[in-house]
Structure 1
Amino acid sequence: MQNKLKKLGKFDDNEGGYNDCPTWRLGLFALNNTATNIYMFAMGYISMYATGIAGLMVTVVGFILTAMRIFDGITDPIVGFLIDKTDGKFGKFRPFIVIGNIILGVMTFVIYKTVHLVPENFRLVYFVACYAVYIIGYTCQTACTKAGQACMTNNPTKRPKFGLFDAIYNAVLFNGMQIFISSYLVPKHGGFGNIALYHELIMYTIIGSAILTALAVYGIWPKDRTEFFGLGNQASKVSFKDYWPVLKGNRALQMLIVAASTDKIALSVAQNASVTIMLFGIIMGDYSLAGTIGTIILIPNIIITMIGTRYAQKLGQKKALVVGTWASIISYTVLVALLVFGDPTQISLKNISFMTIAFIVVYIIAKGAVGVSGAFVIPMISDCADYETYLSGRFVPGMMGTLFSFIDKLISSFATTIVAFSVASIGFVDRMPDVTDVSNQKIFWMTMFLFVGMPMIGWICSLIAMKFYPLDKEKMKEIQAHIQYIKNSEAELV
């Protein structure tokens, strides 16, 4: 197909036939994901607030957060449908980005400021209602991250750069916020039992996310127009009944969902705030290590991600994801062996030992590998959207992104429940683990299972799914050539 199109003079292999954009705009738009990830990080402590401040039971909160995650998934197809139907004066994506961020800011403020003040008989219902509205805002903004990049560029060598920007931003964000919480907020407020800690956290969250959202809107502004939507036609004529045929007929989307959702639930468990507290605060005995070690590994992780992006540009995103997944499995195996056969309490930056050096070196490789394997998931959703245009002629990035999110969130929603029931099984029934708890064998082995065992299961599922994922680099060239040929043919008829 590609050779045929070249002969017709409709496709330039030197990137001339692609819808492209300046790299800096792609970098700005990637901040949309960072803007929502700030809220995701802040809400990672919601179970500690709900149990320690608002007085709700650990297992009840686990069920609620799981139910809300499922609700989050249910709202995805609805928002995706609305995005695909939208094509107005302010574009397809910008209205949802702005409205979503406003809802996030308002409801985060309301939840952390008022839930503990509501009468006990109504507290649970009030919490659920507020959180449900928060979820709607979160869905509006996150759906645009997955769908919006499809109109930014379809250049196979440019799309992986979105993953690079996203990985760098998230590395800086999560490490920075971890340092901020463990080295500043926790010492300042004396732990997670002080409501002032949460109030200060949400203040920075709301302001920071609003700034990043504004930058993301500016980045996508010139590309959020009809001529950059798929074949350059008007908004696609889709209905809810089209969701199942699209999911059923798009093998690439199916396999990406399997790979990403299994990774997501596993890593959501491993990165849960309670698991971080158990690993660094209880087993190692110094919770501030979570932030300081995060700072040490930040630059090496960015370098590893840059290498992975270069690899993806040359050999395709599929191969980069597979290589990153294998590297994650190997490095995490070494990491758990180090923690099991070594002495985790010897890991300290105040008295540097072999354990400290060994842990940091392996941790750098492990986190870098995880960053590479996860960096290309969002850009690969755009590949799946183009694959759907190639198959059916429909440009439905909202549908593709939210179909992905719906199943991804449905599966990963059980992460908080897994953590809640896991810690409850070792004695934490009325509260979550805190930095003041003493390490024991039950805590150690439960932490190893949650921090290493769960990710291993997810990565194995990813490798199996990628065996059946059809969109390698050559296939994507054929797809973009086909789409460009149709657009040029229709232009000639006008």
Structure 2
Amino acid sequence: METTVNEVKTAKESRYRRAKTWQIGAFALNNSATNVFYYLMLFVSYYATGVVGLGTVIVSTLITMSRMWDGITDPIIGLWIDKTDGKMGKFRPFMILGFTVMTIITLLMFFTTHLVPQNLRLIYFIILYLVFIVGYTFQTACTKAGQTVLTNDPQQRPLFSTFDMSYTSLIFAGAAVYVSNYMVPKHGGFTESFFHEFVITVIIIAGVMTALAVIGLWEKDRTENFGTGGVQKQIKLKDMFNIIKGNRPLQMLIVAASTDKLAQTVSGNSIVMVMLFGIIIGDYGVFGSISAITMIPVLILIQIGTRYARKFGSKKALVVSTWLCIGLYSGMFLLLWLGDPSQIRMTDMNAMSLAFVTLYILGTGVRNISGGIVIPMIPDVSDYEVYKNDRYAPGVMGTIFSFVDKMISSLGQTIIGLLLASIGFKEVFPSVDTPATSQIFWITMLLFVGLMILGWIASLIAMKFYELDDKRMAEIQTELNDRRDAQKAATEQ
């Protein structure tokens, strides 16, 4: 009986192209590398306004326009990836190229923009920012598309999220401590020397991560793992519109993820964190301290969440975690509104501090699950496109998703800039020295909690029409495996 069970298990696993655990863990660092650069660019507004001397509304608008440029370039780069199949594979060349471009641009941007003549600084900054976005897209597109060759096992794909969300939590928590508790005190704020040290640190860390990600994908980035393994249909620019029109799961995933991304882009912005911790709570150091103690509980919650996804499917995990997010962030809002935020201190664990820390830890952990579980769902919709229309276009699929996602989330900086300008912050953003007012409180609550809840409600509605649960994906992978075997047999004859 035991042999029969093992044989059944082996037969089931043979239907899928599985990866070694270390390969998934290493490749997930590709997203981490771009997240490190992304975290750096969260502070670009402070550099552009405080060091370069550009106005807050101008900078916010420019960043919004640049994000739209990001969305426009996504499908073009995705098409380029799909047409690539050389000695280095399909994805690895773009991972390396993306890191190289971002490295060069960040060095130029943060080391030279303030040295350019005043009348040329704006155009110089814009050009560098636009080129940075192209490099960023080269590498981020591979995170989504590369998973299609790494593994097609519906139960193994969520494992990517385990690594990815764990890395992301460590990066952002560690970066918060690094910036608020080390860099800001050392350099006296967001000064020129602050950004110089920040950039060099980011480049070193992202470089190591990119190298490990390339190694993790090395064995899998081969022609026989693309689609059903045969000659693929050539995807053209016009095909993108047909893909969007005919792929309902893609449409629903875009709605769910893009609304969440817009809200998270706003909620996690460095300016919002300064207002929440530095002004409302009154001690910006709390941000670094709470981020540090958040790491271990968040990692535990991520393990629980991704195990749930591997057992019950990514769709169900997304829905459950989204409901939990709504409850936790609603509780955090009520606490800050009805309680006294100025009592929150890491050195004095009173009832207010304990309640806030608990809600913040749980909210951050569950939010990471709901946001991170989307990434392994992207190769699912890519496989669905192969299943339905025999089109293997992981680059285009991933960047179509990113296109709409970024076009919507690009509004984040503008929302922050306009709302702050409406209460008088037209030239400079609020800082830790800005006095707390009721206007700042309500704007902060809207940015930190309100938009998040609206985004999660949109996600729940979208998931009602998303058909790719665990059972459906198992059916699709079985069909694709049969096609792959048939194509291989025809080739060998």
Find the counterpart in structure 2 of residue 200 from structure 1.
197
Q: Deviations over 1:199-242 (max 9, x none)?
A: 11101001110110000000000000011111012454111010
Q: Deviations over 1:293-338 (max 9, x none)?
A: 0111111111111111111111100000000000000000100000
Which whole-Å CA distance do the structure 2 matches of 1:259 and 1:235 have between them?
Answer: 30
Q: Residue type of the partner of 1:309?
A: T
Find the counterpart in structure 1 of residue 86 from structure 2.
88
Asked whether the 8 Å contact 1:423–1:429 carries over to 2, the reply is yes
Asked whether the 8 Å contact 2:232–2:391 carries over to 1, the reply is no
Which whole-Å CA distance do the structure 1 matches of 2:231 and 2:195 have between them?
Answer: 45
Which whole-Å CA distance do the structure 1 matches of 2:10 and 2:245 have between them?
Answer: 32
Find the counterpart in structure 1 of residue 150 from structure 2.
152
Give yes or no for the alignment of 1:325 onto 2:322.
Answer: yes
Q: Residue type of the partner of 2:448?
A: F
> Secondary structure at 1:87's aligned position in 2?
coil
Matches within 5 A, 1:345-384: 345-384=342-381
Which whole-Å CA distance do the structure 1 matches of 2:267 and 2:397 have between them?
Answer: 27
Which whole-Å CA distance do the structure 1 matches of 2:132 and 2:226 have between them?
Answer: 29
Matches within 5 A, 1:250-329: 250-329=247-326
Q: Deviations over 1:462-481 (max 9, x none)?
A: 00000000101110000000
Matches within 5 A, 1:176-187: 176-187=174-185
Which whole-Å CA distance do the structure 2 matches of 1:79 and 1:282 have between them?
Answer: 42
Matches within 5 A, 1:61-460: 61-192=59-190, 194-460=191-457
TM-score, reference length from structure 1: 0.97
Asked whether the 8 Å contact 2:280–2:342 carries over to 1, the reply is yes
Asked whether the 8 Å contact 1:280–1:289 carries over to 2, the reply is yes
Which whole-Å CA distance do the structure 2 matches of 1:24 and 1:255 have between them?
Answer: 31
Per mean C-alpha deviation after superposition, the further-off stretch among 306-315 and 28-37 is: 306-315
Tell me by how many angstroms 1:137 deviates: 0.4
Per mean C-alpha deviation after superposition, the further-off stretch among 307-316 and 478-487 is: 307-316
Asked whether the 8 Å contact 1:226–1:235 carries over to 2, the reply is no
Find the counterpart in structure 2 of residue 4 from structure 1.
none
> Secondary structure at 2:468's aligned position in 1?
coil
Asked whether the 8 Å contact 1:11–1:485 carries over to 2, the reply is no
Find the counterpart in structure 1 of residue 482 from structure 2.
485
TM-score, reference length from structure 2: 0.97
Which whole-Å CA distance do the structure 2 matches of 1:382 and 1:70 have between them?
Answer: 24
> Secondary structure at 2:301's aligned position in 1?
helix
Tell me by how many angstroms 1:11 deviates: 11
Q: Deviations over 1:392-420 (max 9, x none)?
A: 11211001000000000001000000011
Tell me by how many angstroms 1:482 deviates: 0.4
Asked whether the 8 Å contact 1:86–1:235 carries over to 2, the reply is no
Matches within 5 A, 1:20-99: 20-99=18-97
Number of residue equivalences = 485
Tell me by how many angstroms 1:440 deviates: 1.1
Q: Deviations over 1:233-275 (max 9, x none)?
A: 2454111010000110000000000000000001100000000
5+ long unaligned stretches in structure 2: 1-6
Asked whether the 8 Å contact 2:75–2:399 carries over to 1, the reply is yes
Structure 1's 214 and 236: CA in aligned 2 closer, same or farther, altered over 3 A? farther
Which whole-Å CA distance do the structure 2 matches of 1:86 and 1:463 have between them?
Answer: 37
Which whole-Å CA distance do the structure 1 matches of 2:440 and 2:268 have between them?
Answer: 16
Identity across matched positions, percent: 49
Which whole-Å CA distance do the structure 2 matches of 1:100 and 1:235 have between them?
Answer: 25
Tell me by how many angstroms 1:375 deviates: 1.8
Q: Residue type of the partner of 2:84?
A: T
Which whole-Å CA distance do the structure 2 matches of 1:460 and 1:55 have between them?
Answer: 39
Per mean C-alpha deviation after superposition, the further-off stretch among 305-314 and 88-97 is: 305-314
Asked whether the 8 Å contact 1:264–1:412 carries over to 2, the reply is yes
Asked whether the 8 Å contact 1:10–1:484 carries over to 2, the reply is no
Which whole-Å CA distance do the structure 2 matches of 1:317 and 1:157 have between them?
Answer: 9
Which whole-Å CA distance do the structure 1 matches of 2:322 and 2:464 have between them?
Answer: 13
Asked whether the 8 Å contact 2:173–2:294 carries over to 1, the reply is no
Which whole-Å CA distance do the structure 2 matches of 1:433 and 1:205 have between them?
Answer: 26
Q: Deviations over 1:418-438 (max 9, x none)?
A: 011111111111111111111
Structure 1's 13 and 384: CA in aligned 2 closer, same or farther, altered over 3 A? farther
> Secondary structure at 2:433's aligned position in 1?
coil
Tell me by how many angstroms 1:14 deviates: 2.5
Tell me by how many angstroms 1:10 deviates: 13
> Secondary structure at 1:362's aligned position in 2?
helix
Which whole-Å CA distance do the structure 1 matches of 2:64 and 2:256 have between them?
Answer: 20
> Secondary structure at 1:222's aligned position in 2?
coil
Q: Residue type of the partner of 1:60?
A: I
Find the counterpart in structure 1 of residue 3 from structure 2.
none
Which whole-Å CA distance do the structure 2 matches of 1:203 and 1:236 have between them?
Answer: 43
Asked whether the 8 Å contact 2:154–2:473 carries over to 1, the reply is yes
